[in-house]
Structure 1
């Protein structure tokens, strides 16, 4: 086998990244489920009140950003580990009158 491949297989950092990738993949799956739940709640809230819930808009924006951070980490576009190893992304205030 090529010496470079053997060195890569022995690299602890690559194995740790693989473990983190699996864990963050599970977190992304759960966050996706949370987004669907928020969408359902927002739909019901929209029928009852007539407009979306502002706090849920901000929270769902931060969850969307978190999923993006996970996707960036999983695809090697970023080496920064998402929450809980970094700060939770802040949802941008959304104006619902736009």
Structure 2
């Protein structure tokens, strides 16, 4: 609701001054609409960056796990070759 107040004052010489004051009961807009949009864009950008970094980090974990599994397979294969060589050596010593 808007209220208009009119105030009249007279000085000693008899001159009249009128002043009008308008009072608003409802607050006007905060006036920060542009700032809110910028803030929302910054927040959305931060969320997008967080999602990107989290997805990149999980990919690195998968690559690390695959490398460890491959290395373990290589070690197992080498152990098998050593075992075969030992068996061949034992057979050749026993066959002599």
TM bucket by the smaller chain?
0.3 to 0.5
Query: Which structure exhibits the higher relative contact order, with contacts defined as CA atoms closer than 8 Å and separated by 6 or more residues?
Result: 1
* Superposition TM-score, scaled by structure 2 size: 0.36
Higher strand residue share: 2
* Superposition TM-score, scaled by structure 1 size: 0.36
